[in-house]
Amino acid sequence: MKKLLCAAGLSIALAVSAGAQAADKIAVVNVSSIFQQLPARATVAKQLENEFKGRATELQGMERDLQTKMQRLQRDGSTMKASERSRMEKDVMAQREAFSSKAQAFEQDNRRRQAEERNKILSRIQDAVQKVADDEGYDVVIDANAVAYAAKSKDITADVLKQVK
């Protein structure tokens, strides 16, 4: 009798659980596809390029100057006076260190700004996903890249893209 009650209780629990899971309405969205198709992405890329153009040009000039000095030192170093050669080597080393630190700061700033702008766009996409899910009554929306299979009828990518644009 005890086993029968336990089995009946377990069956009811499984049935209720299955019923609750069946009630969830699930959709998929391809966030990376939306990100790639957004016109704002190209605008932001152009904005960032303009923002960092001056520093990039300065770094390129520093690099060319450094290469010129290194080539001159390599070419003429054997015929220079020891003191002149030593001075030029120190100058090249100092310039190399300055270039390296400026290049590293440039890369860090560039990466940070790109991440900021990417996060703004992804936030807009997330808001659009939430709005479409609310409008269409979806309980769960999963990124299409994390799903092995989903029916085309469950893909809300186009709706979200319209919402974001």
Task: Output the pLDDT for position 155.
Answer: 84
Highest-confidence segment of 16-20, 97-101, 159-163? 97-101
- What span, in angstroms and rounded, lies between the C-alpha atoms of 17 and 22? 9
CB atoms within 10 A of CB 69: 16
- The answer to whether residue 82 is domain-embedded is yes
Residue 6 has pLDDT above 80, yes or no: no
Task: Output the pLDDT for position 7.
Answer: 39
- For the ranges 29-33, 42-46, 161-165, which has the lowest average pLDDT? 161-165
Residue 20 has pLDDT above 90, yes or no: no
Average pLDDT of the segment spanning 136-149 = 87
Q: Which comes out higher in pLDDT, residue 37 or 16?
A: 37
- The answer to whether residue 159 is domain-embedded is yes
- The answer to whether residue 21 is domain-embedded is no
- Provide the mean pLDDT of the chain: 84
Nearest to 111 by CA among 48, 62, 69, 59: 48
In angstroms, what CA-CA distances link 82 with 66, 67, 70, 73, 94? Answer: 20, 21, 16, 12, 18
- What span, in angstroms and rounded, lies between the C-alpha atoms of 155 and 163? 14
CB 144 within 8 A of CB 150: yes
Task: Output the pLDDT for position 85.
Answer: 87
- The answer to whether residue 120 is domain-embedded is yes
Please tell me whether the overall predicted TM-score, pTM, comes out greater than 0.85 for this model.
no
Residue 9 has pLDDT above 60, yes or no: no
Residue 54 has pLDDT above 90, yes or no: yes
Task: Output the pLDDT for position 130.
Answer: 93
Which residues span the domain enclosing 84? 26-163
Query: Could you tell me the CATH number of the domain that includes residue 63?
Result: 3.30.910.20
Nearest to 101 by CA among 66, 128, 71: 66
- What span, in angstroms and rounded, lies between the C-alpha atoms of 159 and 147? 19
- The answer to whether residue 107 is domain-embedded is yes
Q: Which comes out higher in pLDDT, residue 2 or 33?
A: 33
Task: Output the pLDDT for position 13.
Answer: 44
- What span, in angstroms and rounded, lies between the C-alpha atoms of 132 and 110? 33
- The answer to whether residue 19 is domain-embedded is no
Total domains, the chain: 1
Task: Output the pLDDT for position 93.
Answer: 94
